């Protein structure tokens, strides 16, 4: 590796370490990953690693937060382009699956590897699901208000959507099939029906 390819600013160093951690965690899993593995993959130093992340747990949790921040930003951006609640739901679904597909390693860390690792990890995973559900709930409420969908219990519907999306994505992470693009039509139809959208409007 040439000197010009090395990180030159603190932000670049931190991002380099995070990118390396995604690769290593996604390949080896949390328990089998060592800080030395991340340091080697990032071509940095242990000093640099511990400057930004006090422990392996801290960088794992930081990656979970990074994924949720990215998901929330992309969802907000996509839905703001639509005026009706039903159209926002379609945009949210397409954006979510597209992001999971693009960032499979991060999705694996946030949705799969955090399971069973202890209270701190479970709390973070629950918070990710809660944030995702609140985004969906807010748009469902808007869809009810503008008449796009009939009245319903939006919190329950939003959490059901999160559960369905998680199951589809986790199955894809483990097996690679069907692809998220292939899953889109059937998933869209199922979720639309679940909130009372008529067949001719799906």
Mean pLDDT by 10 residues, the chain (202 residues): 57 92 90 94 94 93 88 89 81 90 87 77 84 90 89 95 93 92 92 83 64
Q: What is the pLDDT of residue 5?
A: 53
pTM: predicted TM-score of the whole model, two decimal places: 0.80
Cβ(92)–Cβ(135) under 8 Å? yes
Backbone angles phi and psi of 24, in degrees to 5: -70, -45
* CA quadruple 119, 29, 66, 107: dihedral sign: negative
First-last CA distance in the chain? 52
* CA quadruple 86, 150, 136, 171: dihedral sign: negative
Cβ(16)–Cβ(42) under 8 Å? yes
Q: What is the pLDDT of residue 112?
A: 82
Residue 123: count of CB within 10 angstroms of its CB = 12
d(CA 179, CA 58): 31
Tokens of 171: 């199955």
CATH superfamily of 8-54: Homeodomain-like (1.10.10.60)
Q: What is the pLDDT of residue 39?
A: 96
Q: Where are the domains of the chain?
A: 8-54, 57-201
Q: What is the pLDDT of residue 142?
A: 87
The verdict on whether omega for the bond into residue 178 sits within 30 degrees of 0, i.e. cis, is: yes
Cβ(121)–Cβ(61) under 8 Å? yes
* CA quadruple 70, 177, 160, 166: dihedral sign: negative
Nearest to 21 by CA among 95, 83, 113, 98: 113
CA atoms within 13 A on the CB side of 161: 30
Q: What is the pLDDT of residue 6?
A: 56
Query: Check: CATH 1.10.357.10 for 57-201?
Result: yes
């Amino acid at each position: 590796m040439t000197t010009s390819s090395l990180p030159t600013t603190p932000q670049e160093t931190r991002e380099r370490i995070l990118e390396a951690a995604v690769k290593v965690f996604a390949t080896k899993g949390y328990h089998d990953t060592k800080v030395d593995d991340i340091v080697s993959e990032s071509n940095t130093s242990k000093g640099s690693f511990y400057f930004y992340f006090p422990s392996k747990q801290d960088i794992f949790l930081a990656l979970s937060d990074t994924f949720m921040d990215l998901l929330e930003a992309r969802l907000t951006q996509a839905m703001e382009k639509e005026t009706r609640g039903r159209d926002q739901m379609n945009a949210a679904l397409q954006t979510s699956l597209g992001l999971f597909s693009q960032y499979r390693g991060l999705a694996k860390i946030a949705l799969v590897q955090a399971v069973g690792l202890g209270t701190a990890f479970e709390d973070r995973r629950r918070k990710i699901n809660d944030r995702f559900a609140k985004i969906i709930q807010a748009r469902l409420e808007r869809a009810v208000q503008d008449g796009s969908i009939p009245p319903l219990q939006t919190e329950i519907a939003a959490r059901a959507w999160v559960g369905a999306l998680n199951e589809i994505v986790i199955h894809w992470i483990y097996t690679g099939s069907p692809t998220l693009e292939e899953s889109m039509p059937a998933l869209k139809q199922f979720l639309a029906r679940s909130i009372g959208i008529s067949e001719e409007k799906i």
